[in-house]
A = this chain, B = another copy of it.
Amino acid sequence: MSEAIEQALAEIKFDTAGLVPAIAQQHDTGEILMVAWMNRDAVRVTLEEGRACYWSRSRRKLWRKGETSNQAQLLKEFRLDCDGDTVLLLVDQEGVACHTGRRNCFFRAWRASGWVEIARPLVSPDALYGEKT
C-alpha cells in the first residue's frame, strides 16, 4: 500500500510551496463542494485513511476534513489531471462542506449587476464548530 502511494506521489507535481490544489466533488451528484490544498503528507493520509485530508495554509498543519466539524469526506476516487498539478477527489460528503454552513463553497454567482448568493446556510457555523463557552 505505502509503496503504491509513493508511486502515486511521484506523478504529482507539487508547486514551489510543496502544494497542489485539490477539488472535492460529490461522487454521485457532480456537485463541486470545495477546493483546498494538499502537500505530500495530506495525499498520503487521504489515500491511507480513505478520507480527505488537506494542508491548511492558514494554520500550517494537516487538516482532516471534519476533525472539528464532523463533516468528513469519505474518499470514493482520487484522480490526477493531464499535467499532474491538480487532483480531484470524488467523495461522499457528510453534512455540509462549507465553513459557512452551506452545502458547498461556491455560493456566489456573478450577474450583470454583481455577485449574488445562490445558496443559504443549512446549519449554523456555531452548530458545526461548537459555541465557545
Binding site for B on A (CB under 8 A): 1, 4, 7-8, 11, 21, 23, 25, 29-32, 34-35, 47, 77-83, 86, 88, 98-100, 102, 105-110, 112-115, 118
Task: Please name the residue on chain B nearest to A43 by beta carbon.
Answer: B110
> Of the candidates B11, B77, B100, B115, which one forms a contact with A11 in the assembled complex, judged by CB atoms under 8 Å apart?
B115
Contact A110 B47 (CB under 8 A): yes
In the bound complex, residues from chain B placing their C-beta under 8 Å from that of A113 are 4
Contact A35 B21 (CB under 8 A): yes
Contact B35 A86 (CB under 8 A): yes
21 A-B pairs with CB atoms under 8 Å apart are: A4-B113, A8-B110, A11-B108, A11-B115, A23-B35, A25-B32, A29-B30, A32-B32, A34-B81, A47-B110, A78-B110, A79-B107, A79-B118, A80-B109, A80-B110, A80-B115, A81-B105, A82-B100, A86-B105, A86-B106, A88-B106
A87 to chain B, nearest CB (A): 8
Task: Please name the residue on chain B nearest to A5 by beta carbon.
Answer: B110
